[in-house]
Amino acid sequence: MLKRWQFWAGLIISAVFIYLSLRGLKLSEVWQIMQSARYLWLIPGVAVYFVGVWVRSWRWHYMLRPLKKIPTATMFPIVTIGYMGNNIYPARAGEILRAVILKQREGVPVSASLATVIVERIFDGVVMLGFVFINLPELARLTHNSGVIGRMDIRTLALVGSLAFFGALLVFLLAAMFPHVTERLLDRILPILPARLREKTRDLTLRFLSGLESLRSPLEALMIFITTVIIWLLETAKYWFVMHAFSFEVSFFGLMLMNGIVNLATTLPSAPGYVGTFDAPGIAVLVAYAVPPEIAAGYTLVLHAALWFPITLLGAYYYLRQPLRWGKQLEISTRGATSANP
């Protein structure tokens, strides 16, 4: 159960970001710009985005192969359900939802599939930071010309983020490549815990580590990294298509930078659907590229809606076709997995 303070903290953070994103804008002009947008451009944008979701499903299938070979076509509906959960529940609850559904439908332990989900998020963060660093020359413009980002040292934030994501990735890689060393280290740590928790914690941790088997060779890790790059380039392509619905132009590299900063910002707690944490940095990046604020706001709001509605509706469709059955054993597995993971 999500703690109440986390829910309210997310709402407060979203409210602050909404204020920052809308402050000083002529809202009537933003609405007029959105009304006059050429929405046919959303069709190829949504199409290329779903190609990216399919690639994401293939990546998850690839990472789960050591546990069970599940076709990508089977993974795709579960991934869309996860997106739906992230968009309508706080704290990225969709990640737990898809792990639980995978347990129900394919028998993969929740703790093991959650390990692959966490590794996915680490690779996503590394690629997002890569998008930022590729565009380092542009960051000087952001720190001087952009309202929200101008109050931050984005280079320092990128550095701190890099240390966090690369540090986490290194820990997971070492744990995967040296499982026996990791298990011995675990056995040394467990005596710290109360006796009644040791066996359960050890069992959950070992199942969690089994989900890291796809990282045991550098080639496997490289394949996951390349796939992650493709996923985020396809999402940037959606940004590019939606841009053509509005009267401005930014380079593809500029949109990569926007994608990286926006998605790093959405790792902050927020209201469901990343309200505010997506919009404020997106508008700020475009303003830094001399896009008029009202056009930047109209584009970012439409882009956010185009990212939210199609995948949420498709996820809801797949979920309603085969809703989750909350059996007693499944609830126990879920509670155990969530308590073992931050």
pTM: 0.84
The tens digit of pLDDT for each residue in 188-206 reads 887 887 777 777 787 777 7
Q: What share of the chain is helix, strand, coil (3-state, %, to 5)?
A: 80, 0, 20
Q: What is the pLDDT of residue 189?
A: 84
Count of alpha carbons within 13 angstroms of residue 52, beta-carbon side: 22
Give me the tens of pLDDT residue by residue for the chain, a chain 342 residues long.
Answer: 445 776 777 888 888 888 888 888 999 999 999 999 999 999 999 999 999 999 999 999 999 998 899 999 999 999 999 999 999 988 788 999 999 999 999 999 898 898 899 889 889 988 988 888 887 676 665 555 445 454 445 566 666 666 777 787 788 778 777 877 888 887 888 788 777 777 778 777 777 777 778 788 888 889 999 999 999 999 999 999 999 999 999 999 999 989 998 988 888 888 888 999 899 989 988 988 889 999 999 999 999 999 999 999 999 999 999 877 654 444 544 454 444 333
- Quote the pLDDT of residue 3: 57
Q: What is the largest CA-CA distance in the chain?
A: 66
228-284 pLDDT, tens digit each: 999 999 999 999 999 999 999 999 999 998 999 898 888 888 888 899 989 998 998
Collect all residues with Cβ–Cβ distance below 8 Å to 312 and sequence separation of at least 6. Answer: 83, 84, 87, 88
How many CB atoms are located within 10 Å of the residue 232 CB?
22
Q: Of the candidates 290, 214, 238, which has an alpha carbon nearest to the alpha carbon of residue 50?
A: 238
pLDDT for position 251: 92
The full set of domain ranges for the chain reads 39-340
